[in-house]
Chains A and B, each alone.
Chain A
Amino acid sequence: MDRNMFTGGLPGTISRRGFLRACAIATAAMGLPMEMVTKVAEAAESPERPRVIWLHFQECTGCSESMLRASHPDLATLILDLIDLQYHETLMVGAGHQAEAAFEKAIEEPGYVLVVEGSIPTGEYEDFCMIGGHSAEHNLKKAAKNAAAIINIGTCSAWGGIPVARPNPTKAVATGDIIKDKPIINIGGCPPNPHNFLSAVLYYLTFKKLPPTDIYGRPLFAYGRRIHDHCERRPHFDEGRYAEQFGDVGHRLGYCLYKVGCKAPETFGNCSIIRFNDVEVWPVSVGNGCYGCTEPNFWDTMSPFHERLPGVPLPVNGGTIANATDIGKKALGITAAALAIHAGIGVAKSFAKGKKKEEE
């Protein structure tokens, strides 16, 4: 995708054409029919922008980074024009008491969308993450009280992510473990694709409800399918052509990364389809296997990251075409042998007959 795709004539502006293009991409990402583009665009340009409060807890801010800077700067501008972002610790200008006052003011009026980034330490460890003199758990409960819905951006707030990896030194939990009475949607990924977050927000704007999800609360439009099933290296998997180790011939030829630890056969997401960063890349396209970061507890269950994922049945040992070719060659040998035997018997018979005639 062209970086200037969404921009208008002036720097930092969005043209009508670019705006509609962004809405069309988001509509496609949500798996909605193209007739819905107008509806999505109407919702997106409505003056009633949903108020959003964005909280950071135990995380690396990578989700915000990916969201705002790395991938689609102009799409990020769109998102910031689209929603009424009232509180975001990384982006806001204010600091100290000013920031806390903004937070108190923002949560007064109910009906906002709460975006959570990062996991929450609990119990005797709750002071491991303190903001404005209050624990993460305290802040989350306070902000969630008046929220209409919660969007967890990233694996940390969705299922705990890296902070809950064994031995979980901060006794961290996910947002859903603390807040039980609000609709929650999980945008898994470390970091998640900004398109998926954008699409979830646009879905909410268009339909005034959260999109349908799988059992882990991930929107089906983005996490309904295995990455493996839409991977550009999938034909190599089916044909039994693997990179056996990093840097070998198979790796250089772009073969399947399953044997060097790719977890895509067990990971749900759309990374292989929509990719990242405007330059059409994603981990597998640059030669590193999938780590399974959109899955709950991936740090524990998907590691070691560069070891072969066990128990994935290969479709046909040695590859479908290679194996069929092998059988074909054997069948050709057997056929040739059968024809040779047939011809041999014929020759022997006529030879015997000829001899008989001579004897007569």
Chain B
Amino acid sequence: MAGHGKDYEKVYVWSVLLRVYHWVFALSIFILIATGLYINWPWTNTWMEGSHQWTMAIMRYIHYVAGMLFTMATIARIYLWFFGNKNEKVWDFAPITPRNIKNMITTSFYYAYLTDNHEHRTGHNAMAGMSYVMTILLAVIQFITGFYLLYPESSFFVGLGSVFGTQQTARFIHHILNWYFAIFAAVHIYIASWNDIRSPEGLISSIFSGYKFFPKGHH
């Protein structure tokens, strides 16, 4: 490495598959929120009527296609929980090991501005890890309820979705989770930016390039 390579070292953190997963997941979430809210409240219905605009049909179609991508992204992420690299595996960041539980406490102090000390981890900190595990589990619920609503005549998806009750209960869960993902996206972008400013490691660029930068000997 040239230039300032003395102070920082470049570490390969995120595999190609994880980065593809992240952007498909992120993009599909934005599309799903926008189209999902429209389907919930089709506010253009009367003034677009009679002008050959199949607004609702198009919104539903986009929602379904984005839902397919969302599902595939979720499956890829769950695969990486077990077969990804060391930063991508679930036990690296889920608060289930003593190391991660300790990290969760220090991170919460760091986020509350109570301390400037924090662990330089190549992967996720345990606080982020917990929210990502939760998000993926909720994503599974979201796509199961979604498929339950989309294929009301398929015995497979009806069997799967009936865990959540009737179609209407599933619709309600699906709707509430839509808001979870909207809030998650806002919080996620805020905390990622906050971390990138407070502790410059190339956190944001790492999800494009796969590389993070750490002070030598700090990880």
Q: Are B72 and A332 in contact (CB under 8 A)?
A: yes
User: Which B residues between 140 and 170 are near A, CB-CB below 8 angstroms?
Assistant: 150-151
Q: Are A342 and B17 in contact (CB under 8 A)?
A: yes
Q: Which residues of A contact B50 (CB under 8 A)?
A: 225-226, 229, 268
Number of A-B contacts (CB under 8 A): 65
Query: Does B101 belong to the interface (CB within 8 Å)?
Result: no
A216 and B61 CA atoms in complex are apart in Å by: 35
Q: Are A339 and B61 in contact (CB under 8 A)?
A: no
A328 and B69 CA atoms in complex are apart in Å by: 7
Known pairs A320-B57, A339-B76, A339-B79; A331 contacts B68 (CB<8 A): yes
In this complex, the member of B54, B72, B151 whose beta carbon has the largest number of chain A beta carbons within 10 angstroms is B72
Q: Which residues of A contact B58 (CB under 8 A)?
A: 315-316
**Smallest CB–CB gap between A222 and chain B, Å?**
15
A313 and B17 CA atoms in complex are apart in Å by: 38
Interface range, B side: 20 to 34
**Smallest CB–CB gap between A215 and chain B, Å?**
12
Q: Which residues of A contact B71 (CB under 8 A)?
A: 328, 331
Q: Are B150 and A334 in contact (CB under 8 A)?
A: no
**Smallest CB–CB gap between A228 and chain B, Å?**
10
Nearest neighbor of B16 in chain A, beta-carbon distance: A342
User: Which B residues between 23 and 80 are near A, CB-CB below 8 angstroms?
Assistant: 49-50, 52, 54, 57-58, 60-61, 64-65, 67-69, 71-72, 75-76, 79
Q: Which residues of A contact B65 (CB under 8 A)?
A: 323-324, 327-328
Query: Does B180 belong to the interface (CB within 8 Å)?
Result: no
Query: Does A4 belong to the interface (CB within 8 Å)?
Result: no
Query: Does B194 belong to the interface (CB within 8 Å)?
Result: no
Q: Are A324 and B52 in contact (CB under 8 A)?
A: no
Q: Are B57 and A316 in contact (CB under 8 A)?
A: yes
Q: Among B57, B69, B75, point to the contact of A315 (Cβ < 8 A).
A: B57
Nearest neighbor of A339 in chain B, beta-carbon distance: B79
Q: Which residues of B contact A229 (CB under 8 A)?
A: 49-50
Nearest neighbor of B49 in chain A, beta-carbon distance: A229
Interface, chain B (partner A; CB < 8 A) = 15, 17, 20, 49-50, 52, 54, 57-58, 60-61, 64-65, 67-69, 71-72, 75-76, 79, 83, 150-151
User: Other than the known A229-B50, A339-B79, what 18 A-B pairs have Cβ atoms closer than 8 Å?
Assistant: A226-B50, A238-B57, A268-B50, A313-B54, A315-B54, A315-B61, A316-B58, A320-B57, A320-B60, A321-B151, A324-B68, A328-B64, A328-B65, A331-B71, A335-B72, A335-B76, A338-B20, A342-B79
